[in-house]
Structure 1
Amino acid sequence: MSTHAAADTTAASVDVPAGADGDAAWAAATRAVLAQADAKLARRFDGGEIVDKLVALRTRAVDEVIRAGWQRCIPAGAGLALFAVGGYGRGELFPHSDIDLLVLADGDVQQAQQPALARFLALLWDAGLQASQAVRSPAQCTEASADQTVLTALIEARPLVAGEAAQQGLRDAVSPERVWPARAFFEAKVREQAQRHARFGDTSDNLEPNLKDGPGGLRDLHTLGWMALRSFGVRELDPLVGLDHLGADEAVALDRERRALGRLRFGLHLVAGRREERLRFDFQKLLAERLGYADDGDSLAVEKMMQGFYRSAAIVRRINDRLLQRFEEHFDGAAEPQALDDDLELRRGYLATRKPGWLLEDTANVFALFAAWAADTSLRGLHSQTARELARALPGIQEYAKASPALREAFMQLLRGPQPVKTLERMTRLGVLGRWIPAFAQVSGRMQFDLFHVYTVDQHTLAVLKNLAAFASGEADERFAVAHTVWPQLRKPELLLLAGLFHDIGKGRGGDHSELGAVDAREFCEAMGLIEADTALVEWLVRKHLLMSVTAQKQDITDPEVIHRFAALVEDRQRLDCLYLLTCADIAGTSPKLWNAWKDRLLADLHTATRLALRRGLEHPVAADERIDENRATAGMLLSEEGLDDDVIDAVFARMPRDNFLRSRPEQIAWQANALRDVAAGETVVRARQLGGSGYEVLVHAPDRDGLFAAIVIGLDRAGLAILQARALDGPDATIFDTFHVLPNDPRHAPAPAQIETSLQRVLAGDLGRVLPARRSQPRHLRHFRIVPQVGFAEAEAGRTLVSIVCNDRPGLLADIARVLREQRLRVHDARIATFGERAEDMFQISDEHDRPLPDPQRQSLRDALLAALDGDPR
């Protein structure tokens, strides 16, 4: 279908009589014609038509409808002029883009033609065009343009029905001589862009990025265009090449990425069926399919599509930074360079090369540039011309495997020198690291279609390295209990940085990414000339980087046998310290919501217990009796220091289960004892305390009753608390001694400990059988990640049964599981709750009501009941 054929299908030819009835008929006919035209554009999109032609065709079709409606409603010679403004004025209409209009007229004409203008706008809406219009005189345009966002829309005005006098009047009204001179406009747009980027965390590498407004999105390209128009009077970026503000290669790259982003946006509007700029989970798979991506053994179709977007956004941001700097120089002028050495100089605070082509000569010069950049923290960045030359030098950068020993040593010196993590971040952003380590280029922009990893692999890796840099600063961070004290113990910190760099580099290739990454890490370290001991440490850290997290979250680290097994795998203090720091940095760098005070304490406790085990020697494992005696004695000393005599302490300790002295820390035992000492035996005790951050510990000590554990879990859930860990112990005299670590579902409305106690006391004081889980709908984002529920059984200690559950996480999940256990008349002795994005992995030690393990028939009955609860309506 030709461009002219597309125009012929629009409403220009719809012929209906005037009047209200005629307007309704015209609008209905026009709506149908527009729908046909949009359907044809959608088919052409699916056929691979370039997006520029599609948006131009839609703009032309809408132009004809608006002109036809104008002629129908506005009498000739009325003194009104009509302009398209904003994106519509730019001629960039996507399937559901805004349609913004300006009616230019003097005040008396505006008043006289108000009924006709109202009819015109209503007619467009009835025809299916959700247009908005502003009616202003030239003077009012000048006044409104005091808001630079209004000016931005007006400078792109395109006449639809306007004579030359009206067009000139509008140009004069918004000229730099009257409002927003070029420099002031540029500075305002720079501030606006920085604020817009900050709203998205200053990164495009999010799970649901915004194609239009996010960093590196289409709005950044629009902003460059607006700056060029205001500063140089050009409506496209290409003329900036002739003005020596933009390289020809940069212009080609921007145009390529603009088309790529535009195609994504056009397709997103189609699959969403409405104006949508955010690549939400609801649409990602549909859009990937529509764009022709397919799953394969390494990646899902949606992951391939998203990787393309992230890479486009990165290129746009890279060139955007250079152009902003050149615009700044245009206004400020080029300052006199200050020589730093024979090869480098300063220009207005930016690091620049002194000789054109220097970076193209040798990769060693590229590394020297980064070394100089790292050595001076006062630098504003790279000069734009140097950044452009660096981009041109990228194809010539050798990968490490083919590089000379001197070049490899230069890279290692960057890791050992000042600001090594900042240097790696800069090398990543500017494309150097991906050339030096090709495997890193493969994970650049690679997302994982889940809720656990909220960043692309390369951005997650940088987040991990930044966390390590924070540990190295020596400054205490309340989020990490002991990390800043562990870092100084490292023998060679650069080895941990290498492990952080390689820990996820094997993702997206199929197979175990830890094993694949370990192979890559060894090859790299050997090529860098590291001694075998250092190479083995980096390789081991990459291979085992999940070990500490899994051990802490899925096993009982108060069990001496667990600590002994973990210590045997770690073997020495250096490995332990490195693994601890890498684990903290990894979890905290996966998602801002993933790290919490409970995980900090778990890992710190595991680190401390393992360090003591290694100091004692693996040939001397700690027995349970020894740990119990030690914890009991230390807790007793703490209580004595508070003024309690030995008889009171012994009486309170007698009300506690023996295993509590094995599984709890001394200060925790002392807190529990204080909660019990003023309460008579047989009474229900509920106590809560804040642990740091937003986490709480909750203690429940009460006479045992059927359904008590389920009632506690449901009560905590109804109080808006998520359970991270539950430990259910049988106390003396038919009592229970349960402890829970919880977090508020909404940190903005975190309850006080006293509120938790009152709420839970109220629940336990009633009929436990009538305590039911709260009804909640499933959050939108969880609906797109389907995990087939799995229920498994194994033998546990003390004749108990271990049941493991893997399923989709959702609000009230644990409460529903507890309800099933109650209905099956089962007792819970321990629970470990772990959530990884949309995936819940929970484990329970259970027994029947007589404290016996479950036989096979009872296991099958429980499995059926759990699967029914997990797979059914979450409400």
Structure 2
Amino acid sequence: MANAAPGEQANGGAPDDAAWAADARAALAEHDAELARRFDEGEEIDRLLAERVNAVDGWVRQTWARCIPADAPLALFAVGGYGRGELFPHSDIDVLALAEEGSQERYADALARLFALLWDAGLPVGHAVRSAAECTRAAAADLTVQTSLQEARPLLANLAEVRTLNDAISIERSWPPDRYFAAKRQEQRDRHARYGDTADNLEPNLKDGPGGLRDVHTLRWMARRVLDAYGLEQLITLGLLGVDEYATLERERRTLSRLRFGLHLVAGKAEERLRFDHQKALAARLAHADEADNAMVERMMQEFYRSASVVLRINDRLLQRFEEQIEGEGELVPLDTDFATRRGYLVARDEVWPGGDIGRVFDLFAMWAERPEIRGLHSQTARALAESLHALPSWRDAGAKLRTQFIALLRGPTPVRTLERMSRMGVLGVWIPEFAQVSGRMQFDLFHVFTVDQHTLAVLRNIASFSMEAPDERFSTAHEVWPQLRKPELLLLAGLFHDIAKGRGGDHSELGAVDAREFCDGHGLGEADSALVEWLVRKHLLMSTTAQKLDISDPGVIHRFATEVADRERLDYLYLLTCADIAGTSPKLWNAWKDRLLTDLRTATRLAMRRGLENPVAAVERIAETRDRARGLLSAYGVGDDEADALFARMPEPLFLRGRADQIAWQALGLRGTAPGDSVVRVRRLAAGAQALEVFVHARDRDGLFTAIAITLDRSGLAIQQARAIDGPGGTVFDVFQVLPTDPRHVPDLPAIERKLLTVLAGSLDVRPARRAQPRHLRHFRVVPQIAFSDSADGRHTVFSLVCTDRPGLLADVAHVMRLQGLRVHDARVATYGERVEDVFRLAAGNHALDASRQDSLRDALLATIDGDAPR
């Protein structure tokens, strides 16, 4: 039975409750402020957590004494995290009042007063009032309730009441060990899946994300249910957890706890997700600085990612050991003299394996790759591997035989999966120390959504997808290029090293190329192979930059790119590396438009190489070839040569120089049956099922035409990726836009888009941009605006480049400013890199380039617009 503290009396309904609660709230706030001060001074995190629990315990007991009679047959338990003795600054205070049904009814008012007073005192209490039988039923029906009650810690309860609660949730009454383990493991898998099965997110959840504190808690809960162990430390005496493993897990738990404690402080609430809003403030607090720079944030995040990675490794091993306790150890099934399987897991037969011999480690990964039926690495061998990492040499200190073994892994079955396993186990970082340096390294921006090591592995997985029998739908031609590679392992090496020098300062492409060359030479690759890998790493950004920032319909651009690439083998390797790199940077970054750009660039470059780089294509020849191919495509629609030539006569000649034959045929079909000057709008998908769209607009030229189209597309939920405006015969324009839905869940209605544009073309063109709020994540990244002007090659246009922070509707606002300035847009290329946009426009004032005065006026108006003062 619960008892009041000495000298305390229950005085149900006392009129001074409000004043008492205010005093309690003030005292708790003062105590929390003191804990925050000590946190900032670097005090040990477990002491801070324990002192907060002790302080809350004291006030909970005082509140109980005010509300509950001393002889009441009630007991009070802390449950959940509070029961575990782990209270962060804004954690909930979960309690259970244990009482039989009659007592519940009799003391209902007193309990209601208790919980209300706790809230008034500033304690966010979550409560339940249950009998022992109700605890059994609730626990049996809900895994979360069972788990919470397992953490129960008596606050005001005698030994008999503690035994009653323990009996109510015993394995005989609810959740026997095998069911509990299976359910908790599935719960963990589902939770990890919600976060993309990786801790390496830009805004990770410190509590529930993979490798977060919840994974440590889960191991504790399983140990309690499966082995009746009240803490993970008890597993050491049971032989299921090494002293080193326990110490490591505790170290990472403290690291994660410190981050979570600090996050609660800077957020001022129970925030578990380390959002951009709080990263700089938390990094500054941890570094004892007034303000954090990006480097501080990146160091803090790297510490988190590395801790989460270690937690996941130990989590995998312990789950397997719990499984063995339930299912039995299983028979040893020999595979060869060195390895066997036990319950489907790969195990080294030598008790002292690997004995510091990395050759034996490589043998392990080779066996694993050859046996796809293997479930994973046995926990005993995984632990032996982890304990030996410090004794394994890097490739520079290893002999030729070991280096040959590593290259053999790249040439063996499932090499990318092998590299992923080596990375997860920490072996890859030992063999290539530079890889260890970028493990867990993030970049504080919105473009790179993964840490460098996880991005690298994503690139390698994309490369692996090129070789699959079923082509990856994201890449239209990659699976056709893959079989042409002379040595696929060279592409894997280029992918492995392409970003390995990030964070060192200087050009990471140049520094990485030096690392790659040294590695290739050291592993006995021939001169041609080493040179190819070195060149790919040095030039891994060349193709994406050319495709996204330059006009690849310009024969001069193609000729310069082809000259730099120089041969078709390099082109194929670079094409595949570029596809894999862009798609591995962010799930949202790769789309059908980028796929088309790179495919078109590769095709045009191959044609240039076939023709001979000493013989650049002449404009007349290019126009004739495009006309012929377009004419052939139109014949399939019943368009004869004479009709085709009549339609071509209504189209501007630059289209045939810079456009694709299929694009010209599609536009010509849109003109068919119309009179010169009639407005024509056509919308199509760039590929079957693709989100990327191509919009063709033909109309009589008027001031504000481009702006009206851009704003209408923006209002239709479409983001312009590329735009081209070409003057046609008789005062007409041929505008082509490549667009993507701003919301990937939105399925565009193509006929509706055509109708909206035709309606706008029939009106005054006085369309105003829509106002939109800036997304939360963009507010924390500001790119200083950069505006530059230069003359086009022919001197008729001004090339205007804009670099600034992205925001919804930015292009529509920029186009509106250009209209107000009386300027015409002849070409636009829009590139977005996370929070950063890099747009290039070809402009004219009438038929002339902009003079200095017009440039200054445009610059001033655009800066005002970018800062949010767009004219209306």
Which is further off, 229-238 or 565-574? Answer: 229-238
1:1-30 deviation digits (Å, cap 9, x = unpaired): xxxxxxxxxx99999987453110011111
1:454–1:131 CA distance, 2 compared to 1 (3 A): same
CA shift at 1:203, angstroms? 0.3
Aligned to 2:448: 453
Q: What one-letter code is carried by the residue in structure 2 that aligns with 1:469?
A: A
Equivalent residue of 1:358, what SS? Answer: coil
CA distance in 2, matches of 1:591, 1:704: 39
CA shift at 1:406, angstroms? 0.7
Aligned to 1:859: 855
Q: What one-letter code is carried by the residue in structure 2 that aligns with 1:63?
A: D
CA shift at 1:614, angstroms? 1.2
Aligned to 1:760: 757
TM alignment of 1:15-414, pairs within 5 A: 19-146=13-140, 147-292=142-287, 300-414=295-409
CA distance in 1, matches of 2:649, 2:273: 60
Equivalent residue of 1:843, what SS? Answer: strand
Q: Of the candidates 440, 463, 472, which is equivalent to residue 468 of structure 1?
A: 463
CA shift at 1:339, angstroms? 1.1
Q: Of the candidates 804, 810, 814, which is equivalent to residue 807 of structure 2?
A: 810
1:48-91 deviation digits (Å, cap 9, x = unpaired): 11110101110111111111111111112221111110000101
- Is the CA contact (8 Å cut-off) linking 2:12 and 2:110 kept in structure 1? no
- Is the CA contact (8 Å cut-off) linking 2:284 and 2:292 kept in structure 1? no
Equivalent residue of 2:16, what SS? Answer: helix
Residue 820 of structure 1 pairs with residue 817 of structure 2: yes
- Structure 2 residue runs of 5 or longer lacking an equivalent are none
Q: Of the candidates 427, 437, 446, which is equivalent to residue 442 of structure 1?
A: 437
Aligned to 1:835: 832
- Is the CA contact (8 Å cut-off) linking 1:16 and 1:25 kept in structure 2? no
- Is the CA contact (8 Å cut-off) linking 1:345 and 1:352 kept in structure 2? yes
CA distance in 2, matches of 1:396, 1:295: 41
Residue 658 of structure 1 pairs with residue 641 of structure 2: no
CA shift at 1:228, angstroms? 0.7
Equivalent residue of 2:201, what SS? Answer: coil
Q: Give the TM-score normalised by structure 2.
A: 0.97
- Structure 1 residue runs of 5 or longer lacking an equivalent are 1-10
Aligned to 1:706: 703
CA distance in 1, matches of 2:11, 2:282: 42
CA distance in 2, matches of 1:786, 1:268: 23
Equivalent residue of 1:453, what SS? Answer: coil
CA shift at 1:297, angstroms? 13
CA distance in 2, matches of 1:510, 1:48: 30
- Is the CA contact (8 Å cut-off) linking 1:14 and 1:30 kept in structure 2? no
CA shift at 1:225, angstroms? 0.2
CA shift at 1:149, angstroms? 0.9
Which is further off, 13-22 or 58-67? Answer: 13-22
Residue 491 of structure 1 pairs with residue 489 of structure 2: no
CA distance in 2, matches of 1:502, 1:370: 21
1:105-156 deviation digits (Å, cap 9, x = unpaired): 1111111211111111111111111101111110000000121111000011
Q: Of the candidates 511, 532, 536, which is equivalent to residue 516 of structure 1?
A: 511
CA distance in 2, matches of 1:472, 1:124: 62
Aligned to 1:645: 640
Q: What one-letter code is carried by the residue in structure 1 that aligns with 2:384?
A: E
Residue 602 of structure 1 pairs with residue 602 of structure 2: no
1:183–1:646 CA distance, 2 compared to 1 (3 A): same
1:690-715 deviation digits (Å, cap 9, x = unpaired): 22311111011001111111111001
- Is the CA contact (8 Å cut-off) linking 1:803 and 1:845 kept in structure 2? yes
- Is the CA contact (8 Å cut-off) linking 1:15 and 1:26 kept in structure 2? no
Q: Of the candidates 570, 575, 591, which is equivalent to residue 586 of structure 2?
A: 591
1:809-852 deviation digits (Å, cap 9, x = unpaired): 11000001101110110111100000000000000001102x10
Aligned to 2:608: 613
- Is the CA contact (8 Å cut-off) linking 1:360 and 1:392 kept in structure 2? no
CA shift at 1:176, angstroms? 0.4
1:12–1:651 CA distance, 2 compared to 1 (3 A): farther
CA distance in 2, matches of 1:557, 1:342: 58
Aligned to 2:529: 534
1:600-623 deviation digits (Å, cap 9, x = unpaired): 000001011111111221111111
1:361-417 deviation digits (Å, cap 9, x = unpaired): 411111111111111111001100000000111111111111101111111111111
Equivalent residue of 1:733, what SS? Answer: helix
Aligned to 1:718: 715
- Is the CA contact (8 Å cut-off) linking 1:14 and 1:26 kept in structure 2? no
Aligned to 2:743: 746
CA shift at 1:763, angstroms? 2.4
- Is the CA contact (8 Å cut-off) linking 2:683 and 2:693 kept in structure 1? yes
CA distance in 2, matches of 1:168, 1:478: 60
CA shift at 1:864, angstroms? 1.1
CA distance in 2, matches of 1:361, 1:744: 54
Residue 781 of structure 1 pairs with residue 777 of structure 2: yes
Q: Give the TM-score normalised by structure 1.
A: 0.97
Equivalent residue of 1:804, what SS? Answer: strand
Q: What one-letter code is carried by the residue in structure 1 that aligns with 2:670?
A: A
CA shift at 1:570, angstroms? 0.3
Equivalent residue of 1:755, what SS? Answer: helix
1:179-218 deviation digits (Å, cap 9, x = unpaired): 1111111111111100100000000000000000000000
Equivalent residue of 2:360, what SS? Answer: helix
- Is the CA contact (8 Å cut-off) linking 1:351 and 1:379 kept in structure 2? yes
Which is further off, 680-689 or 517-526? Answer: 680-689
CA shift at 1:645, angstroms? 2.3
Question: What is the alpha-carbon root mean square deviation over aligned residues?
Answer: 1.7
- Is the CA contact (8 Å cut-off) linking 1:293 and 1:302 kept in structure 2? no
1:509-566 deviation digits (Å, cap 9, x = unpaired): 0111101100100111111111111111000000000000000001111111111100
Which is further off, 93-102 or 227-236? Answer: 227-236
1:112–1:535 CA distance, 2 compared to 1 (3 A): same
Which is further off, 774-783 or 644-653? Answer: 644-653
| Number of positions where the alignment pairs a residue of Structure 1 with one of Structure 2 | 863
Equivalent residue of 2:76, what SS? Answer: strand
Identity among equivalent positions (%) equals: 65
Q: What one-letter code is carried by the residue in structure 1 that aligns with 2:457?
A: L
Aligned to 2:685: 690
CA distance in 1, matches of 2:120, 2:619: 79
- Is the CA contact (8 Å cut-off) linking 1:294 and 1:300 kept in structure 2? no
- Is the CA contact (8 Å cut-off) linking 2:280 and 2:293 kept in structure 1? no
CA shift at 1:637, angstroms? 1.4
Residue 672 of structure 1 pairs with residue 670 of structure 2: no
Q: What one-letter code is carried by the residue in structure 2 that aligns with 1:220?
A: D
1:192–1:17 CA distance, 2 compared to 1 (3 A): closer
